Structure 1
Amino acid sequence: MGRSRSYEWEDPALSAAAVGQGTGLEFLREIAAGRLPGPPVAATLDFTLDEVEHGRAVFSLVPGEEHYNPIGSVHGGVYATLLDSAAGCAVQSTLPPGMGYTSLDLTVKFLRPITVDTGRIRSVGTVISSGRRTALAEARLLDEADRPLAHATSTCMLFPLPAR
């Protein structure tokens, strides 16, 4: 009657120690290539960083029952996590060595329900504007036919990382 799922993750301190040592793009490429561990949340939800270039990041996920809310569709928090990850990593991909970021806000618009029948979904984040202290990014959640499932905007605060 019950269902179960198990997963593993690596020590997040390994990737956290590498933040800011090179550019944000270099850091994200190391994660995408598997040379640095991805964040534990990616293992928890089973999503991956598929593409990253300057000002753009793409994550994907195949929806499963483990992502469902009580009404039988993917929980809004999963949408938000994918959108926040794509928007934030798009910003991170633009950062020089020694700089970090954090999300200040995330505004999500839900457009279509997602279920196991939806198939693989992609979250595509792009930087709209970047200054010395803040950056604005957007992310689109798309199905396999590139139909929009959700949209988000995020403001990120940029800051120098402490010397290590």
Structure 2
Amino acid sequence: MPGTEMADDDDPRFGPGPFAGLLGFRILHADRDGATVEADPGPEHGNRIGIVHGGFLSALLDTTTGWAVQAHLPPGIGAPHVQMSIQYVRAAATGATLSCRGRCVSAGRSICSAEAEITQGDRVIARAVTSHAVLQAS
């Protein structure tokens, strides 16, 4: 995706994908400098004690690091996650926007790595470090 712009809503490479779309994720940008994805978690994204579920946060980190890596690869080449390590720093509240910023740390021919951080306001909520397997075109 080098040099692509996120403005073309009809291009299937752009947009959050079906699962991330179901969760309400909004991709603000994804380019070689990184990716930013936002979400507005509602009560349906909370756990029984009323905070945002860790799985929702994990999916946001997964989506953001995926887009950060994808921006370094040519169209048609995938790079699914093969590892993700998450540090949950503090609880996130429902009803307030989450912003996740990620960047590709290394983009090799077979493995890429990335990192991302979720904030809510000025508070860090969670961080992740990921590895991705580059799927070569057949």
Taking structure 2 as the reference length, what is the TM-score of the superposition?
Answer: 0.88
How many angstroms does 1:78 deviate by?
0.5
- Find out whether 1:95 has 2:70 as its counterpart: no
Q: Is the 8 A contact 1:123 1:142 kept in 2?
A: yes
- Find out whether 1:132 has 2:112 as its counterpart: no
Counterpart code for 1:85: T
Distance in 2 of aligned mates of 1:85 and 1:136: 14
Cα distance 1:129–1:148, how it changes in 2: closer, same or farther (>3 A)? same
| Aligned residue in 2 for 1:16 | none
Deviations 1:82-141 (A, max 9, x none): 001111110000002442211101111101111125x21111110112221101100100
| Aligned residue in 2 for 1:42 | 20
Counterpart code for 2:110: R
Distance in 2 of aligned mates of 1:74 and 1:132: 36
Note the 1:72-151 alignment, pairs <5 A: 72-117=50-95, 119-145=96-122, 147-151=123-127
Runs of 5+ unmatched residues, structure 1: 1-22
Query: RMSD of the alignment, in Å?
Result: 1.8
Distance in 2 of aligned mates of 1:110 and 1:141: 10
Cα distance 1:25–1:159, how it changes in 2: closer, same or farther (>3 A)? farther
Q: Is the 8 A contact 2:103 2:115 kept in 1?
A: yes
Distance in 2 of aligned mates of 1:65 and 1:36: 32
Counterpart code for 1:107: S
Q: Is the 8 A contact 2:46 2:94 kept in 1?
A: no
How many angstroms does 1:45 deviate by?
0.9
Cα distance 1:130–1:136, how it changes in 2: closer, same or farther (>3 A)? same
- Find out whether 1:153 has 2:112 as its counterpart: no
Q: Secondary structure at the match of 1:81?
A: helix
- How many residue pairs match? The answer is 135
How many angstroms does 1:55 deviate by?
4.3
Deviations 1:65-93 (A, max 9, x none): 01011221111000000001111110000
Cα distance 1:107–1:61, how it changes in 2: closer, same or farther (>3 A)? same
Larger Rg: 1
